[in-house]
Amino acid sequence: MPAYGEDLACIHDAGHSGFALGAAPGLLRILRQHGVRGGLVTDLGCGSGRWARELNRAGFEVFGVDRSPSLVRMARRIAAQSRFAVGSLWQAPIPASDAVTSIGECLNYLPAGPPERLFKRVFHALRPGGVFVFDVAGPSRIPANGPRKSWNAGRDWAVLVETEGDRNRTTLTRRIVSFRRIGNRYRRSEEVHRLRLYHPEALLESLRQIGFHAERLKSYGRFPLSEGITGVMAVKGV
C-alpha cells in the first residue's frame, strides 16, 4: 500500500499542513534573495499542495510530484493553478526549473535511490542561478530509549504513531494507526513508513562535488526546523 492512503492523507493535511504554511514565508524569502522571483518551481513530494498554493499566490508556476494518489488529488483541489503528477520523486522527470524544493523529509522516505543521482538530475534541470531547497531527517531522530509512542487528534480524526530506529542501518520506522470519522463511524487504517536517515555533511559534500554552492539551514527564515532535521540550500552557479 502506498504511503498516505486516503485517510492518512486527509489527516496529514488537517494536522500537519502547518509545517508548509509556517515554512512558506522563509522559503519565499530564500528564493527571492537568490534572484528567483518568478518562473517554475518543481516541488518533489508536494503532499496536499499547501506549499504549492503559497507559491502560486507569490506569482510562481508549480509542478508537483508525489507518490500518493490521495495527496495529489487533494493538491489539485487546493492549488488548482499548479500541475501535479503521481510518481516517485526518484524517478519522475524534472522539467527545466527556476527552483526545486522538497520539504518535510520527503527525500528520506523509502524506497529511495542514491541521493547523488537525484542531485545530478536537479542540477541539470535548474537554470543557472537556480535554487534547490530541501530538508532531511538525520540519525539523531532515532529515539534514544527504544521505541517511542505518540498521538495526535483533531475534530474528526486521531492518529497513533510508534517510532523505532535502527542505528546500524540508519533507518527509522513509523507504525501509524489512524482513525477518521466517516459518517457516524470511525474508520481504522494502518500504515508503516520507513525512512533512510542521512548525515547532512555527506549530502553537502555530494552537492558541492556536483557543482552546487551548498549550505546548511537551521530554519526557513523565522520558522525553526525540529531537532534532527537539517535544511539544505544549494545554488547552481551562473
Q: Is residue 85 part of a domain?
A: yes
What DSSP letter does each residue of 81-131 carry, written as one string?
A: TSEEEES-TTTS---SEEEEEE-SSGGGBSS---HHHHHHHHHHHEEEEEE
Q: For the chain, how many structural domains are there in total?
A: 2
User: What domain range includes position 162?
Assistant: 140-196
CATH code for position 182? 2.20.25.110
Residue 1 domain-assigned (yes or no): no
**pLDDT(23) > 60:** yes
Under the banding of pLDDT at 50, 70 and 90, the label for residue 2 is low
23 in a domain, yes or no? yes
Mean pLDDT, all residues of the chain: 97
Residue 181's pLDDT is what?
97
Over range 173-182, report the average pLDDT: 98
Does residue 1 carry a pLDDT above 80? Answer: no
| Within a domain: 208 | yes
Q: Answer whether residue 237 shows pLDDT above 70.
A: yes
Same domain, 112 and 226: yes
pTM: 0.96
Cβ-in-10-Å burial (0-12, 13-18, 19+) of 69 comes to: middle
Question: Is the pLDDT at 218 greater than 70, yes or no?
Answer: yes
Give the CB-side neighbour count of residue 150, counting CA atoms within 13 A: 6
Whether residue 116 sits in one domain with residue 77: yes
Q: Say if CB 76 and CB 51 are below 8 A apart.
A: no
Euclidean distance between CA atoms 78 and 52, whole angstroms: 9
Over range 12-25, report the average pLDDT: 96
Q: Let me know whether 132 and 22 are in one domain.
A: yes
pLDDT at 230 over 70: yes
**What would the pLDDT profile of 50-74 be if each residue is shown by its tens digit?**
999 999 999 999 999 999 999 999 9
- Report pLDDT digits (tens) over 77-134: 999 999 999 999 999 999 999 999 999 999 999 988 899 999 999 999 999 999 999 9
What is the C-alpha separation between 214 and 232, in angstroms, rounded? 7
Q: What is the mean pLDDT of residues 128-150?
A: 96
Between CA 187 and CA 161 the distance in angstroms is: 16
User: Helix, strand or coil for residue 152?
Assistant: strand
